[in-house]
Amino acid sequence: MKKFNRVFSDKASLVLRAMLATPGREWVVRDFVNELSLGRGWVASVMADLREKSYLKGTARGRSAGSLLRNAEDLVLEWAHHYRMEHNRVQVYFTTEKNILPRLKAALRNQGHVPAYALTLHSGANLLTHHVRDSNAYVYLNSEDYPSLVNQLRLDLNLKELKQGGNVYFFRPFYRSSVFHGLREINGYPVVSNLQLYLDLYHFPARGREHAEYLYRMWRKRSKDLKN
């Protein structure tokens, strides 16, 4: 795995996600400290990196200090260039069921693990678009109890473990702190944010770029940005 650019690392991405969610807001370091519980020095260094990359405008110091996000589309494209779905750890399983998601949701609810999961890739995006026919289940699971959770789901759902060729994919998030940022419910299922869907799909080999770009065009047509 390539060394990840610091501004796109897990905790730093909380800063980016917050700024992308409110593109017209002017931010100061203490906002991120108070609202995201991040260290002041860490936030200051991330902001300095963003300013150096021309993604911020405004005054860095003084009584009038404040930073406003700029070039948001370029920022997201650079982020997508650095990010790969392969950064996440994955377990692949096979089921004979055509739609495992209802049973998965029920199994997690019975264990008290809600919301400890979120749909991503085509599983999540198709709840918005129905653009790519893909019956596989792509699911992020909570990283804190990931090993035991995966093992219990394997038993509860009678899944067969495979190294390739499966249809159920459980991901331990690379973004342990931020992957669930902007989580929303669609048709009864938790789905990662539009931004995370875009990042996950962008380099995904099975028609991922096509689906990512379709999502992007859809958001633009509706005058929405990649904030959620």
Higher pLDDT, 5 or 222: 5
Structural domain boundaries in the chain: 6-70, 85-221
Domain 85-221 class? Answer: alpha beta
pLDDT, mean of residues 85-108: 93
Whether the per-residue pLDDT at 225 is higher than 80: the answer is no
Q: Which of 208, 205, 224, 2 is nearest to 120 (CA)?
A: 208
Q: What is the DSSP string of 146-206?
A: HHHHHHHHHHHTTPEEESSS-SEEEEE-SSTTTTTTT-EEETTEEE--HHHHHHHHHT-TT
Sign (positive/negative) of CA torsion 31, 34, 39, 41? positive
Q: Which helix (DSSP H) or strand (DSSP E) does residue 91 occupy? A: strand 89-94
Contact yes or no for 219/225 (Cβ under 8 A):
yes
Contact yes or no for 178/11 (Cβ under 8 A):
yes
For the chain, what is the mean pLDDT? 88
CATH 1.10.10 fits 6-70, yes or no: yes
Residue 1: predicted pLDDT: 43
pTM for this entry: 0.90
Whether the per-residue pLDDT at 224 is higher than 60: the answer is no
pLDDT, mean of residues 43-52: 91
Q: pLDDT by residue (tens digit) across 142-180?
A: 878 888 899 999 999 999 987 778 999 999 999 998 999
Residue 95: predicted pLDDT: 95
In this structure, how many other beta carbons lie within 10 angstroms of the beta carbon of residue 137? 22
